[in-house]
Amino acid sequence: MPPDVLDFSRRAELVELMDEPCSREEMRACLRDLARLNQWFLGYRPTLRWLERFQFSQNGRPAHIVDIGCGFGDGLRRIEEWAAQRRIAVELTGCDLNPDAVAIAAEASPKRSRIEWVAADVFSFKTTKPIDIVVSSLFTHHLTEEQIVRFLMWMENVAQMGWFINDLSRASIPYRLLKAFSKLAGLHPFVQHDGPVSIARAFVAEDWRRICMAAELHARDITIETFKPARLCVGRRKPGIK
């Protein structure tokens, strides 16, 4: 289990079990329980609220939204539902480094879904379609700061309308609450371990200001927003985009 004593003034250097080799069956069970946590604790809300701020169909074609580190695909499926309810034309692509996660996301999607699932490293990800928006959820805390800077620069280069990072806020109270809740709820052992560890590996606002500055993004270029419970999100809307 995660340690009881941590210094929350800085990101913890801990290993998540999901980042280690495991069977597809183990991965499926873990991702399913993570999706349950996202649903119970309003994990999709920050991304959907950010998307609400855009006027889509500005260029006469469906908006292409790419989800990096898509995992179980529940976040992208929720975006698909949101767009359908508003009659917004979208093309959706989920990208994950783990081919098992991509296969699991595809099998968990209804037959009517038109999401494209791709197994690839983000920095080698290729698409023939222009990318309008890049989103990610619970992805960046898996990276080093140097990798996050590179990821920010990649998104800034490819996303024509903007990008949004939906991740966790590092604090001791959410860490302890999630540790207790995941055990009481009988969630998968990986989730019981990785959920609290994810919070310990996550960020505070000052971290994001420093990382964005390293990626040559100024404070006026980005938004840093908190969402309860325990979410800290970074968004970028390109100049001139409504």
**Chain segment 60-109, per-residue pLDDT in tens:** 689 999 999 999 999 999 999 999 999 999 999 999 999 999 999 999 99
Supply the pLDDT for residue 62.
94
Report strand pairing: 159-168 vs 231-237: antiparallel
Q: How far apart, in Å, do the first and last CA atoms of the chain sit?
A: 46
Contact criterion met (CB below 8 Å) for 148 and 207:
no
Report strand pairing: 131-137 vs 159-168: parallel
Its pTM stands at 0.95
Q: Could you tell me where the DSSP H helices lie in the chain?
A: 24-40, 45-51, 74-85, 99-108, 145-158, 172-184, 189-200, 205-214
Helix (H, G, I), strand (E, B) or coil at 45: helix
The CA distance from 226 to 224, in Å, is 7
Mind listing the domains of the chain with CATH numbers?
A: 24-52+59-237 (3.40.50.150)
- For residue range 209-232, list pLDDT tens digits in order: 999 999 999 999 999 999 999 999
Query: Quick count: other Cβ atoms within 10 Å of Cβ 178?
Result: 24
What is the rounded average pLDDT for all residues in the chain? 95
